[in-house]
Chains A and B, each alone.
Chain A
Amino acid sequence: MIVMKKILNSIIATIFAITLSGCWGLDYYPSNAIGEDNFLDRASDVDKLMNSTYAQIKNAWAFGYDFLFDSVTDIATGDYFQNYAMGISAYSDGWFQNCWQQTYNVVQRANTTIRLLSEAQTGTGAGEITTAMVNQGIAEAKFLRALGYFRLISLYGDIPYYDETTVLSESFGDMYVDISPIASVREKIINDLNEAEKVLPSSWETTKYGRATKWAAIALRGKVRLYAKEYAAAAADFDNVINNGIAYGSTKLALDPDYAHVFKTWGTGNRCPEMIFSIQNSNESGSATTSLMGNKSSLRQIPTDRMNPSPKLIDMYEKKDGTPFNWDEYLPGWNSGNMEKRRDLSSVTIDLKDGIAYVNDMLQADTSAMARAYRERDPRLMVTAITPYSKYLGTTAGSNPQWFNYYLVNTTKSAFGPNEGNGCLRNNNGGFTPSYLVRKFVIEGNLGGEYSNAPFEWPIIRLADVMLMAAECYNETGNDAKACEYVNLVRARVNMPAIQKSGNELRDYIRDERARELPFEGHRFFDIRRWGIGPQVVTGDATTIWGSRIYTMSYPAKHDVWPIPMVELDRTPGWKGSQKQGW
Chain B
Amino acid sequence: MICLLMLFLGSFSAQAQQNRRLTVQIQNGSILDCIKSIESQTDYSFLFSNSIGVDKKVTVNCVNQTLEQVLGTVFSGNGISYEIDGRQITLKRSSAQQPDGRRTVIGTIRDMNGEPLTGVGVVIEGTTQGTITNPDGSYSINVPAGSVTLDITSMGYVSQKVRVNPHQGVLNITLAEEALSLNETVVVGYATQKKANLTGAVSTVNVSKEINGRTTNTISNLLAGAAPGLVATANNSSGSRPGANGASLKIRGTGTTNNSAPLVIVDGIVSSMDYVNPSDVENISILKDAASSAIYGSRAANGVILITTKKGHTGAPTVTYNGMYSLEQANLSSDYFNIESNYATYMEYLNDSRNNRGLTPYFSPERIAEWRSHENDTDPKSKLRWPNTDWTKVVFRTAHVQNHTVSLQGGTDNVRYFVSGNFYKNPGVMKWTDFQRISFRSNLEVDVTKFLTLGLNVFAFRSEMDPNSDVASTDGDAITWGAAAGSPGIVLVSPDGRYGEYNNPEDNTGQRNANAFRRMNFYDHNRPEVQQSVVPKFSAKLRPFEGLEIEGNYTYDYRSHNIQHLLQDMDLWNFYPEEPVRTLKTVNVYLRKWFYEYKYQTADLVARYNKDFGKLKLGALVGTSGEYYWTDYSYALKFNDESLAPGEHNDYRLSVWSTMNTSRAVAQYLQGYDSEWAMRSYFGRINLNWDDKYLFEANFRADGSSKFSPENRWGYFPSFSAGWVISEEPFFNKQGLFNFLKLRGSWGALGNNAIGNYDWQTLFGSYNYVLNNGTTVQGMSQNSIANRNITWEKTTVTNIGVDFTMLDSRLSGTAEVYDKLTDGILLSLPASLTNGTVGIPRQNAAVVDNKGVELQLRWNDKIGSDFNYYVSANAAYNKNKVVDFATPSVGTYNIEEGQPLYYLNIYEADRLLRTDADIQYRDQLLAANPNLFTSVQKPEKGDILLKDSNGDGVINADDRVKMSNGNQPSWTYGLSLGADWKGFDFSVIINGVAGWNDVINDVIWRSTPAWGYTLNRTIAQGAWRKDTNEATAKFPRLLMGDGRNNTLSTFWMYSRSYLRLRNVQLGYTIPENLSRKFYVNRLRFYVSLDNALTFTKWPGMDPELGQSRAIQNHPINKVTTFGVNITL
Could you tell me which A residues sit within 8 Å of B by CB distance? 5-7, 9-10, 13-14, 16-18, 20-36, 39, 45, 47-56, 58, 79, 82-83, 88, 90-92, 97, 100-102, 104-109, 112, 160, 162, 168-169, 172-173, 175-176, 206-211, 265-271, 280-285, 296, 300-301, 352, 355, 396-400, 409, 411-412, 414-417, 419-422, 426, 428, 430-432, 448-450, 455, 457, 548-552, 565-568, 570-572, 582-583
Contact = CB atoms under 8 A, between A and B. Distances in A.
B762 A36 contact: yes
Nearest to A566: B957
Contacts of A88: 937, 1042
Nearest to B501: A421
Interface stretch (B209-217, B397-405, B456-464, B769-777): B769-777
Interface string B819-833: 000000000011111
Given A51-B778, A431-B362, A176 B832 contact: yes
Contacts of B604: 17, 21
B603 A20 contact: yes
A122 to B, nearest CB: 19
A283 B666 CA distance: 12
A79 B935 CA distance: 21
Contacts of B838: 105, 108, 168, 172
A420 B510 CA distance: 6
Given A267-B773, A282-B773, A417-B507, 20 more contacts: A5-B449, A21-B605, A28-B757, A29-B758, A51-B767, A54-B779, A101-B837, A107-B836, A175-B835, A265-B773, A270-B774, A271-B773, A280-B774, A398-B587, A419-B509, A421-B583, A422-B510, A549-B359, A567-B833, A570-B957
B354 to A, nearest CB: 7
Interface stretch (B89-97, B574-582, B796-804, B869-877): B574-582
7 contacts: A30-B675, A55-B779, A91-B935, A175-B835, A270-B773, A412-B367, A430-B359
Contact of B770 (A285, A352, A570): A285
A210 B773 contact: yes
Contacts of B886: 173
B316 interface: no
A283 B773 CA distance: 10
The 7 closest A-B pairs by CB, nearest first: A419-B510, A398-B642, A105-B836, A52-B779, A51-B779, A20-B603, A417-B505
B783 interface: yes
B542 interface: yes
B781 A101 contact: no
B1011 interface: yes
Contact of A455 (B585, B774, B840): B774
A558 to B, nearest CB: 9
Contacts of B783: 33
B506 interface: yes
A432 B772 contact: no
Contacts of A567: 830, 833, 890
Contacts of B833: 97, 100-101, 104, 565, 567-568, 571
From B359, B601, B780, B936, residue with most partner A Cβ within 10 Å = B780
Nearest to B452: A9
A207 B771 CA distance: 7
Nearest to A167: B785
A168 B552 CA distance: 48
A280 B624 CA distance: 57
Nearest to A108: B836
Contact of A211 (B364, B505, B625, B771): B771
A506 to B, nearest CB: 36
B676 A28 contact: yes
A281 B770 contact: yes
B829 A449 contact: no
A21 B761 contact: no
Contact of B786 (A56, A169, A209): A169
B1109 interface: no
A417 B509 contact: yes
A483 to B, nearest CB: 33
B836 A102 contact: yes
Contact of B505 (A51, A91, A283, A416): A416
B673 interface: yes
Interface magnitude class on chain B: 35 or more
Interface in B940-964: 956-957
A69 B927 CA distance: 35
Interface string B239-251: 0000000000000
Contact of A172 (B775, B831, B1042): B831
A454 B199 CA distance: 67
Given A168-B785, A552-B358, A400 B774 contact: no
Nearest to B836: A105
Nearest to B605: A17
Interface in B566-590: 569, 572, 574, 576-577, 581-585, 587-588
Nearest to A546: B360
Interface of B: 354, 357-362, 364, 366-367, 449, 451-452, 504-510, 512, 540, 542, 544, 550, 552-554, 569, 572, 574, 576-577, 581-585, 587-588, 601, 603-605, 624-628, 641-643, 666-667, 673-680, 704-706, 710, 713, 757-758, 761-783, 785-786, 829-838, 840-841, 843, 886-887, 890, 934-937, 956-957, 1011, 1041-1042
A16 B552 contact: yes
B770 A571 contact: no
A39 B780 contact: yes
A25 B909 CA distance: 57
A173 B542 contact: no
A420 B680 CA distance: 61
Given A18-B624, A20-B554, A104-B833, A208 B666 contact: no
Nearest to B584: A421
A403 B449 CA distance: 84
B767 A415 contact: no
Contact of B358 (A105, A265, A398, A549): A549
B624 A21 contact: yes
Given A28-B706, A266-B774, A411 B935 contact: no
Contacts of A448: 666
Contact of B588 (A106, A398, A426): A398
A271 to B, nearest CB: 7
Contacts of B706: 25-28
Contacts of A571: 830-833, 887, 890
Given A20-B554, A51-B768, A14 B680 contact: no
Nearest to B574: A416
Contacts of B357: 551
A101 B831 CA distance: 11
A206 B837 CA distance: 31
Given A10-B542, A90-B936, A23 B626 contact: yes
A53 B768 CA distance: 9
B359 A582 contact: no
B509 A52 contact: no
Contacts of A22: 626, 680
A101 B830 CA distance: 13
B937 A90 contact: yes
Given A24-B678, A432-B362, A414 B763 contact: no
B785 A169 contact: yes
A583 B934 contact: yes
B781 A55 contact: yes
Contacts of A422: 510, 583
B680 A21 contact: yes
A282 B776 CA distance: 7
A82 to B, nearest CB: 7
A209 B771 contact: yes
B548 to A, nearest CB: 10
